[in-house]
Structures are given as C-alpha cells and as structure tokens.
C-alpha cells in the first residue's frame, strides 16, 4: 500500500470535496448569451454531422476532453483507470491531474501511468503546475511527467488564486513566462497552458502565445471554483474567510475564448469551465474553440463505473450531433457561422 503523503492527502480532499460539496462559481459561463440559428430545412442527414478533430498528429472522434482532475492516490488510480478506458473506447482526449505527487514520490507513478496502459491510442496530456518551475522544477521534471504517461503533450497549469488562498500555497509566479517559454522550446512534445477555473485574459493569452505554447485551455469562471474547494479544506477560520471572498472571481468561459481569439487568432483553444452538455460545447466551438473539456461531470461518472463514463460521452456526442444537424452544420468548422449573440429584448414603447 502506498504511503500517504501531504500531496496525496490534499488530492484525496479535492476528490471528496468535488464529489460531496457545492463548489460552483458565483459567476456564469457567459454561454447563455449565445444561441444557434435553427434551420428547419438543414439539407443534410443527422449522420452527416462529422465530429472528428485532428490535433497534435492524432484524430479524435469527437471534440471532447476529459479535463485534468486527479492522480497520486489509490482512489485516483481507480478513477483514472475508468476515465482512460472510456477515452480509449470513445476515441477522445484526456488530461491527467497534476503529477507533482509522482515526481516527488515515484511509488505513486502507477496512479497516473495506468492511463496509458488502458488507453494505448488515446490523446493523453501530462500535467504539472507551472509555478513549480519557480520551485526547483525544470525540463527534467517536465520530461519525467511526459515519459510517465508516454503523453502526447504536457499541460502546465496556472492557479495563482488557488495557491494564494491555500494554506502554505506556492505563490511565487514572478518571471514565470520565461520558464514556460524555455519549456516550450526544449520539450519534445507540445506544451499546453491551462487555467484551473478563473479564465484567461487577453494579456495572458498574448503572453502565452509569445512563449510558444501549442494550445491554451481557458478553464473559465462559471464551473468549479477552486477557491470554494480550498475553503472547504481550510485549516482555520481566517483561511476559510479568505477563500470564501473569491466566489465570484474570474473571467467567464465565453469571454476567455474571445480573449484568446483576439490575442492569438490561430491558437488552438480548449474550452472548459462550467460546460454542462453538448450544446454548451457546441457554443464554445462556435466561438472558436477546438475541444470542449469537462471535469466534474466525468469525475462523478467515474466514481460509478467505466460504463457510466461512456454513457456520459455518448450523450455529449449525441447532443453535439443534434446541434449540428439542427443548424445545418456538416462539420465543426461550420458552427461559427451558425452562432449568434442573443439580442436584449426590446422594451415596449410607452
């Protein structure tokens, strides 16, 4: 049995809190401002809707991403096994949780590497906290994370607010862009940067594009609020009050996508943060995203079984396909022309 490390204990807390507590952001995703143009005569069959996406040299059968969640504990190993099995069968992408626990405690590596063993063909993303590059990590640790999974890319996640409200968090984000740039230059696989739940500004998107990142995951506000998660595991009233302050913090998902589009028009975008169903994913694709990612929904499904995860994926795919059919969109590239921003209802004349 693996020893329980402080990182493992924190990971177990994160799983439990996400499954048991209300940790939703006080903000919405902003996707409610958008709708599709319904076409009563779509001039296509339902099965003509093509969900395939080409990314990093692989083709995924649907623009879905099982967002980075977990690893580093025995419970996480079971969840990752089920999630990866489903990703393999469905032919979609999957990100793993932060691998810092396994970098510092190699006996925990199997809780992550299980993903590649059961998903030999899936598009898999390794994951480390970008801030660790200011705490002794470098290209060696990044390569170890990638090798652990035989990953197709590395995610460096950004979580300054979470670290700031977390007991003994790592809060030195100074000059981090230079180290991200160095990682992009030296690492043999693409580097993705993601927020964890508070979105991406236009300034940050431009800075990341200049660093040479291969994709950005917006993880916008409107879904899980990690300040709420940290509030539930805070060791004292002061830290709880500090974390609770930021329930309504962040840049909504829809706005984050548009920020990246303005700053880096050619940048692949992973949309995540509060997506509820395939229609939300379709809206994100219409705004310019490449994939739509979800975490909480898949975590709850994986807590039950692999088949429950697959059922979730099938429903998302069906929702996407029906959206495309009802708008006359044969390919995902057709969706932007079908999306419109809702107009505010006109007030009646006096």
267-315 pLDDT, tens per residue? Answer: 999 999 999 999 999 999 999 999 999 998 999 999 999 999 999 999 9
121-170 pLDDT, tens per residue? Answer: 999 999 999 999 999 999 999 999 999 999 999 999 999 999 999 988 99
Task: Tell me the mean pLDDT in the region 67-74.
Answer: 82
Q: Is the pLDDT of residue 346 over 60?
A: no
User: Looking at residue 24, what DSSP letter applies?
Assistant: B
Where is average pLDDT lowest: 13-17, 46-50, 237-241? 13-17
pLDDT of residue 147: 98
Q: Is the pLDDT of residue 24 over 50?
A: yes
Q: Which of 3, 21, 5 lies closest to 233 in space, CA to CA?
A: 21
Where is average pLDDT lowest: 17-31, 71-85, 232-246, 247-261? 17-31
Residue 269 lies in a domain: yes
Residue 1 lies in a domain: no
Distance, CA of 183 to CA of 342 (rounded, Å): 41
Distance, CA of 332 to CA of 339 (rounded, Å): 12
The residue to which tokens 């994926």 are assigned: 313
In the predicted model, what is the mean pLDDT of the chain? Answer: 92
Q: Are 34 and 286 in contact (CB under 8 A)?
A: yes
pLDDT confidence of 5, banded at 50, 70, 90?
low
Residue 348 lies in a domain: no
Can you state the angle between helices 139-149 and 176-186, rounded to 10 degrees?
50
Predicted TM-score (pTM) of the model is: 0.91
* Total domains present in the chain: 1
Q: Is the pLDDT of residue 345 over 70?
A: no
Q: Is the pLDDT of residue 176 over 80?
A: yes
Residue 24 lies in a domain: yes
pLDDT of residue 223: 83
Residue 346 lies in a domain: no
Query: pLDDT > 90: what percent of the chain?
Result: 81
Task: Tell me the mean pLDDT in the region 79-107.
Answer: 96
CATH of the domain at 327: 3.20.20.70
Residues in the chain: 350
Task: Tell me the mean pLDDT in the region 256-275.
Answer: 97
Beta-strand relationship, 339-341 and 291-294: unpaired
- Using alpha carbons only, what angle is made at residue 230 by residues 11 and 223, rounded to the nearest 5 degrees? 90
pLDDT of residue 350: 42
pLDDT confidence of 336, banded at 50, 70, 90?
very high
3-state class of 280 per DSSP? Answer: helix
Q: Give the Å distances, CA to CA, from 154 to 69, 108, 143, 148, 291.
A: 14, 19, 9, 11, 16
Residue numbers of the domain that contains 176: 6-341
Residue 191 lies in a domain: yes
Residue 297 lies in a domain: yes
Task: Tell me the mean pLDDT in the region 207-219.
Answer: 98
Q: Are 149 and 124 in contact (CB under 8 A)?
A: yes
Sign of CA dihedral 61, 264, 283, 273: positive
Residue 347 lies in a domain: no
Task: Tell me the mean pLDDT in the region 220-226.
Answer: 85
Task: Tell me the mean pLDDT in the region 74-98.
Answer: 95
Higher pLDDT, 70 or 280: 280
pLDDT confidence of 232, banded at 50, 70, 90?
confident
Task: Tell me the mean pLDDT in the region 318-332.
Answer: 98
Q: Where are the alpha helices (DSSP H) in the chain?
A: 6-20, 74-90, 100-104, 110-118, 139-149, 160-165, 176-186, 202-211, 226-232, 237-244, 253-263, 278-287, 296-302, 306-327
pLDDT of residue 348: 41
Task: Tell me the mean pLDDT in the region 246-256.
Answer: 95
DSSP state string for 137-152: --HHHHHHHHHHHT-S
């Amino acid at each position: 049995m693996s020893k329980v490390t402080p990182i493992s204990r924190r990971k177990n807390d994160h799983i439990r809190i996400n499954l048991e507590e209300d940790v939703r952001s006080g903000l919405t995703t902003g996707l409610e401002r958008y709708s599709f143009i319904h076409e009563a005569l779509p001039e296509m069959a339902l099965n003509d809707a093509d969900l395939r996406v080409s990314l990093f040299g692989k083709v995924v059968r649907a623009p879905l991403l099982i967002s980075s969640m977990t690893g580093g504990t025995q419970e996480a190993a079971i969840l990752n096994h089920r999630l990866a099995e489903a990703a393999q069968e469905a032919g979609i992408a999957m990100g793993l949780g932060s691998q810092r626990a396994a970098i510092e405690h190699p006996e925990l590596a199997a809780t992550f590497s299980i993903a590649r063993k059961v998903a030999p063909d899936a598009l898999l993303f390794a994951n480390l906290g970008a801030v660790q590059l200011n705490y002794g990590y470098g290209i060696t640790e990044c390569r170890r994370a990638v090798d652990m999974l035989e990953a197709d890319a590395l995610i460096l996640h950004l979580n300054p607010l979470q670290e700031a409200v977390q007991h003994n968090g790592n809060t030195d984000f100074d000059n981090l862009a230079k180290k991200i740039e160095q990682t992009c230059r030296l690492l043999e696989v693409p580097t993705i940067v993601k927020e964890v739940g508070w979105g991406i500004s236009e300034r940050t998107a431009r800075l990341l594009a200049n660093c040479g990142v291969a994709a950005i995951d917006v993880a916008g506000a409107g879904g899980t609020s990690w300040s709420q998660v940290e509030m539930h595991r805070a060791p004292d009233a002061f830290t709880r009050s500090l974390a609770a302050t930021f329930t309504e913090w962040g840049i909504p998902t829809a706005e984050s996508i548009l920020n990246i589009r303005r700053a880096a028009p050619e940048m692949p975008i992973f949309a995540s943060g509060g997506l509820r169903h395939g229609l939300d994913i379709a809206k994100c694709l219409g705004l310019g995203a490449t994939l739509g990612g979800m975490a909480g929904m898949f975590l709850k499904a994986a807590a039950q079984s692999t088949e429950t995860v697959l059922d979730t994926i099938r429903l998302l795919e069906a929702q996407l396909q029906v959206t495309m059919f009802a708008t006359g969109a044969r390919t995902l590239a057709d969706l932007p022309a079908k999306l419109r921003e809702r107009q505010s209802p006109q007030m009646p004349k006096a």
